[in-house]
Chains A and B, each alone.
Chain A
Amino acid sequence: MASLTFTELVEIIMTPSLPVIIIGLILILGGPIIFHLVLSSSSTYTVPPSVLLLGPDNAGKTALLTLFERGTKPSSTHTSQVSHSIELNASTDSVTKASFRNHDDSTGTHTKFFLVDTPGHGKLRNVAMGKLARTEKTKAVVFVVDAAALGEQETIAPTAAYLYDVLLFLQKKATSKGKDKASIPVLIAANKMDLFTALPATMVKTHLEVELTRIRASRSKGLLDSGVGIDDVGSEEQDGWLGEYGSEKFTFQQMGEFDIDVEVLAGSVLTEEPGADKWWWWIAQRI
């Protein structure tokens, strides 16, 4: 065999014998399968669920993210420009289930998930909303607000406007008929409870509800967007009415109509007490 010349080799291959046909068939049929196996093993097909951190700037989103990741205390942070995600493990049946300081815990089953931080600056709002629209398997949205500054008109107005956009987006997603229909629960994390001026959770809730009512009223009376053509006027899609249609006051319960569960929980990133454990437990339950 060793003395096989090139011409002889070609001749053997070209001869229609059984082994040649079998080898040929294996190559042709097996090739794609092997190729697929190689590809599928190299990348994970199962995307872990993700939780989105939204909120206006200077609310404490990135600080919360680093707190969850480090477990001890948050790193100092500045204004974010890009979105960033980290990998975390949550559990609902382990010993330390109610605490995010579970890095060494091996009891119970842990679910891996991504916590996605978004920039809160007004100019980068579309980055955050894009994340909300594109992220696969979004299990929950955590909307961080600065409870200490919420009493002031300058803070609550943009915060509520942002929250309005987020809720309206989620409402549209919940009522859409397509494949991506999903109801995503929202946690309003009232941060900075350690500060003196911080409003309690119930006050945060009522303040936001009042402000959202006001926004809803002014949006319904406002001008049309420049993108709206003549044909779309008055169509179902352009009706951006948040919550129960025609209701006098907006409350977060009205979102329940679309299976969107909105909860307000107080906490603080920087201090042990009240801490961020309540938020963590809320997230852990949703995953």
Chain B
Amino acid sequence: MLDAFEILTTSGVVLWSRTYAPVSPSIVNNFIADTFIEEKSGSIAPTDSQSAATNPAYRSDQHTLKWTFVKELGLIFVVVYRSLLHLSWVDKLVDNIKTIFVELYGDQLKKPHTTLVECHSFGEYFDQQLQELDKSSHVGSISPIDEEASSRSSASGLKYRGHAPNGTAQDTSADSTPIPTPNASRPSTPGNLVVAKAGPVAKMSRRARKAHNTGSAPVSSGDEALASTRQKKGAKATKKGRKWNAEGFADEEDDDVQLDYSRPNLTSDSEAEAVGRSSALDAVESSTWGSTSKGKFILKDLGDEVHDILASAEAQKAEKAARADSKTGLLGTGVNAISGLFRNVVGGKTLTKEDLDKAMKGMEEHLLRKNVAREAAVRLCEGVEKELVGVKTGNFESINAKIQTAMESSLTKMLTPTSSLDLLREIDSITAPPVTSLRKPRPYVISIVGVNGVGKSTNLSKICFFLLQNKYKVLIAAGDTFRSGAVEQLAVHVRNLKELTAREGGKVELYQKGYGKDAAAVAKDAVNHAAQEGYDVVLIDTAGRRHNDQRLMSSLEKFAKFAQPDKILMVGEALVGTDSVAQARNFNAAFGSDRALDGFIISKCDTVGDMVGTLVSLVHATNVPVVFVGVGQHYSDLRNFSVKWAVGKLLSSN
């Protein structure tokens, strides 16, 4: 069953929650961080009025979280349950709870400067919904069991025949969780599958059998246990006539003949006909009947209220849709256009998708002109658009200004790294660990990867220069054992750096094994050598490789395993266009499942002026932050990445 249901605000306060099993708060925290803040799922920003079914479920190691979001109130509804369970009604529950909660407490939520919402009585509404949905779903999907249970005494071959195809029809038509029927009359058979195979499946058409098998395949043991407990509740269903078709299984489409002669007397369950029924209408009907017969009349009253709320919300939605359609009247459009124009200037206009469309198009064009890959630009614009729909513009604020600010915050959020990137501090903590941490000092290993000719060796020597100025002892490993002249190029850099930093007190050496050797082995030897000789930092150069060449990329995984770099930095040049997305993705995935890139160096930024869109594309594709920016030809022309600078350049208009 459910582990927890929580209603929380975007400001972090839990307004209402119900816990059935202890759930670590870090699960929900991680969910918020990943889905809303870091947008790791790669999807566009969460949107309003989406049902929980369309929002991607968030999975932690053992739990599944389903959620929905109300933007204007800043409310998140999240339900946590064990991933083992397949609860088909959870989406509906989350949606209904959202509607009810917003209807009941929406006014309280709009008050400024408070986090208090009086919603102690919400538990009753929740219980009602839970009971109703839980039951209706189970009546719908496991009623075959009930049927069998009630007719246990008269088990016959005919009955199996009737039952198995019935299950088939249900599994294929509805997407509700298929529940295996622990066959009560045959305790030795564990599940539906076996029963079906033994009996009538042989006579089924291949198509039907396939549907049946796929339908019951993903069933977990949790459901079985659940199903068997449900069994005892004995929810009953109306019974309907069945027509048998040529292939020997029930034709469910046109069963409108009532065969259930026991209808007037509902308590009679002696009916042992092999009959099937599956319509959702019947399921709901029987569930309401079930709840009243148990004498829970209070629940029923609440149920009416809840149904009213849901129905009115439904009606409002329909009305809104209708109004949107009927807005085409001549007078209506005229007045709308004039007031729209007026509000465009004065502000205070509630933005709609139509208002934004044109301006967003312009923003997208602008981003494309800044060399942002189309994919990233579209995602950014969609995010901003969804954020702005339904928002009121401020006094004398035009739509464009609004979009500009929204895009600025969106870009800032995207480019800002989750944790701070202070390379020197990280090196210090590895090479000279605090006494309390019980770690042995070891050299800090940085490796640099990238496509051919983006400036890997140049940036490596720039980083080396920076480290030497800070008096570190650096070993450069020539991992490019392929391209002619690569080792010599590094040797020249090392010679220059030695001369440049002789005064500063740094020390730099080159570790090389010539050409044709395995790069991973060279890197490993270099790290060992550095550890023996007491170097602080090892910088490993690698051969440039095309990102879509599987043969070259595959050696990177071995490299990461052998050299164990603390940081893998990818050099991406600012000049590259749309290809940057694919480059970043492929390199990010190349190091195996448990290793990814740690950062980007954007080289040649001085050659593009304002068109620094590449870095947005790279970060968009991988969620890996930009660490350094190369801005010139000298050793000192390496800069820390500043988000403000990048956003300013991206949004500047010329």
Contacts and interface: CB of A to CB of B under 8 A. Distances in A.
Interface of A: 58, 62, 65-66, 69-70, 75-87, 114, 117, 119, 121-127, 151, 153, 157-158, 161, 214-215, 218-219, 221-228
Interface stretch (B239-247, B414-422, B548-556): B414-422
Given A153-B434, A226-B642, A80 B11 contact: yes
Contacts of B12: 62, 77-81, 84, 117, 119
A132 B33 CA distance: 22
Given A79-B12, A86-B114, A153-B429, A224 B418 contact: no
Interface string B420-431: 101111001100
Contacts of A126: 412-413, 416, 643
B339 interface: no
Residue among B13, B428, B437, B629 with the highest chain A CB neighbour number at 10 A: B13
Nearest to A227: B645
The 10 A-B pairs at the shortest CB distance, nearest first, are namely: A227-B645, A80-B12, A84-B11, A226-B639, A218-B424, A225-B642, A87-B113, A62-B12, A122-B418, A226-B629
Given A219-B422, A226-B640, 15 more contacts: A69-B114, A78-B8, A79-B12, A80-B12, A81-B11, A85-B112, A86-B113, A123-B418, A153-B434, A222-B422, A224-B639, A226-B631, A227-B644, A227-B645, A228-B639
A79 to B, nearest CB: 4
A85 B644 CA distance: 26
Given A126-B412, A226-B646, A214 B425 contact: yes
Contacts of A82: 10-11, 74
B437 A224 contact: no
A123 B413 contact: yes
A124 B37 contact: yes
A223 B425 contact: no
15 contacts: A78-B25, A79-B29, A80-B10, A81-B11, A87-B114, A122-B418, A122-B419, A123-B37, A124-B37, A126-B413, A153-B429, A219-B422, A225-B640, A226-B640, A226-B641
Contacts of A80: 10-12
B11 A83 contact: yes
Given A80-B12, A81-B11, A161 B416 contact: no
A78 B425 contact: no
Given A79-B33, A86-B115, A124-B413, A66 B13 contact: yes
B255 interface: no
A222 B646 contact: no
B424 A222 contact: yes
A78 B14 contact: yes
B115 A69 contact: yes
A125 B412 CA distance: 10
Nearest to B15: A75
A124 B6 CA distance: 23
A222 to B, nearest CB: 6
Contact of A58 (B15, B29, B116, B605): B29
A114 B422 CA distance: 34
Contacts, number: 139
Interface of B: 6, 8-15, 17, 25, 28-29, 32-33, 36-38, 74, 112-116, 409, 412-413, 416-420, 422-425, 428-429, 434, 436-437, 466, 469-470, 605, 628-629, 631, 638-646, 648
Contacts of B10: 80-82
Contacts of B631: 226
Given A78-B12, A79-B29, A218-B422, A85 B113 contact: yes
B416 A227 contact: no
Contacts of A123: 37-38, 413, 416-418
Contacts of B640: 222-226
Contacts of B28: 78
Contacts of B11: 62, 80-84, 117
Contacts of A157: 420, 425, 429
Contact of A221 (B33, B469, B629, B639): B469
A117 B13 CA distance: 11
A214 B429 CA distance: 11
A66 B36 contact: no
A126 B410 CA distance: 11
Contact of B14 (A69, A77, A221): A77
A81 B36 contact: yes
A70 B116 contact: yes
Contacts of A223: 466, 628, 638-640
Contacts of B644: 227
Contacts of A87: 113-114
Contacts of A76: 14, 17, 25
Contacts of B645: 225-227
A224 B629 CA distance: 10
A121 B37 contact: yes
A153 B422 CA distance: 14
B3 to A, nearest CB: 15
Nearest to B413: A123
Given A58-B29, A223-B466, A84 B628 contact: no
B115 A66 contact: yes
B428 A218 contact: yes
Contact of B113 (A58, A114, A225): A114
A161 B605 CA distance: 28
B637 to A, nearest CB: 10
Contacts of A58: 29
Nearest to A152: B437
A124 B639 CA distance: 23
Contacts of B33: 79, 121
A100 to B, nearest CB: 15
Contacts of A62: 11-13
Contacts of B116: 69-70
Contacts of A79: 12, 29, 32-33, 37
Contacts of A227: 642, 644-645, 648
A218 B412 contact: no
A215 B74 contact: no
Nearest to B436: A151
Contacts of B422: 161, 215, 218-219, 222
Nearest to A62: B12
Contacts of B425: 157, 214-215, 218
Contacts of A117: 11-12
Given A222-B640, A225-B645, A226-B645, A214 B115 contact: no
A75 B639 contact: no
A76 B9 CA distance: 11
Contact of B29 (A70, A75, A78, A153): A78
Contacts of A127: 409
Nearest to B648: A227
A84 B115 contact: yes
A81 B25 contact: no
A123 B411 CA distance: 11
Contacts of B466: 223
B413 A122 contact: no
Nearest to A114: B113
A78 B14 CA distance: 7
A268 B29 CA distance: 21
Contacts of B115: 65-66, 69, 75, 84, 86
A81 B32 CA distance: 8
A139 to B, nearest CB: 16
Nearest to B423: A222
Nearest to A221: B470
Contacts of A153: 429, 434, 437
A205 to B, nearest CB: 18
Contacts of B418: 121-123
A79 B28 CA distance: 8
Contacts of A65: 115
A144 B113 CA distance: 21
Contact of A122 (B112, B417, B469, B646): B417
B420 A161 contact: yes
A94 B644 CA distance: 46
Nearest to B602: A226
